[in-house]
Amino acid sequence: MSKLDALEEIILTAESLQEDLISPDIAKAKAAMECYLQLVDRFYAECKDKLAHHQYIAAKRDIEYFLQLVELAIGYKRSDALDKERSRLLS
């Protein structure tokens, strides 16, 4: 799985957890939070060279912020891939 694919999977999973995170069912919300925190850890492992530690901590507390970070990382990876392809074609 490419890094871009992994990031896209992370964002889809996070989006699917949003409803469960605010569920009135405490067990459901707790399970969703555990999954969400693992997802943030996975994202940090994928992107720690581009992510400050305080961003990692903030992402654990705020899913909207986390989704923005993941979208930025996806945009960066797509841009980087396009730049590499342009360089290859111009060589």
Chain centroid offset of residue 58 CA: 13
* pTM for the structure as a whole: 0.86
Mean pLDDT for 3-31 is: 95
Residue 88 confidence (pLDDT): 73
pLDDT at 58: 97
Closest CA to 69 of 39, 91, 89: 39
The answer to whether 33 and 66 are in contact (CB under 8 A) is no
- CA-CA distance, 62 to 5, in Å (whole number)? 23
What lies within 8 Å, CB to CB, of 43 at 6+ separation is 7, 10, 51, 59, 66, 69, 70, 73
- Residue 91 and residue 17 in contact, taking contact as beta carbons nearer than 8 Å: no
Name the pLDDT band for 83 (thresholds 50, 70, 90). low
